Amino acid sequence: MKILVINGPNLNLLGLREPDIYGKQDYKALVELVENVCREEGISVELFQSNHEGAIVDKIQSAYGVFDGIVINPAAYTHTSVAILDALKAVTLPAVEVHISDVSRRESFRQVSYAGMACIKTYMGHGFEGYAMAIRYLKAYLGKENQP
Ligand code: DQA
């Protein structure tokens, strides 16, 4: 099982960025958490972070036929990007959406998730742990999908 974990804009600044909302741990700590969970679960993982919408679209497109599933935190593009939604729909890979903060309790402009419309599940407000939850959910989902 091979998964792709995508993080959108400004998540490279975790730790520095609004620590009261996103916590004090940095992006490197998030990478370590994801890699540790995947190691424990026997999953092969690649992490990708970009501040550019088109680069994220390109990465999703290149996942077709290479990865079994995607975990994605599109960050601010969650609320604006039809292009990321369309890319997720195009590749038809099971995708799980993650948000570190509980976006449902934040500003009104964060109440729409375009990417979420193409995802089988969303975790929000669990901090970094949401990524672990998403990875485990995706593993269970892919396990069921591949049953005879
Ligand atoms: C976020 C929530 C988004 O609204 C915000 O733009 C982010 C991070 C989260 O992980 O909580 O950059 O996706």
Q: What is the pLDDT of residues 71-124, one digit of tens each?
A: 999 999 999 999 999 999 999 999 999 999 999 999 999 999 999 999 999 999
* pTM passes above 0.85: yes
Ligand 1 mean position to 16 CA, how many Å? 14
Closest ligand 1 atom, residue 102 Cα? 11
What pLDDT is stored for residue 88 in this prediction? 98
Please say if the pLDDT value at position 67 is more than 90. yes
128 half-sphere exposure, CB direction, 13 A CA radius = 19
- In order of 7, 43, 46, 86, the CA distances from 11 in angstroms are 6, 23, 16, 22
> For residues 48 and 144, what is the distance between their CA atoms, to the nearest angstrom?
26
Closest ligand 1 atom, residue 73 Cα? 13
> For residues 67 and 60, what is the distance between their CA atoms, to the nearest angstrom?
10
What pLDDT is stored for residue 145 in this prediction? 81
Output 143 or 147, whichever has higher pLDDT: 143
Catalytic site includes residue 114: no
In the chain, % of residues over pLDDT 90: 97
Catalytic site includes residue 99: yes
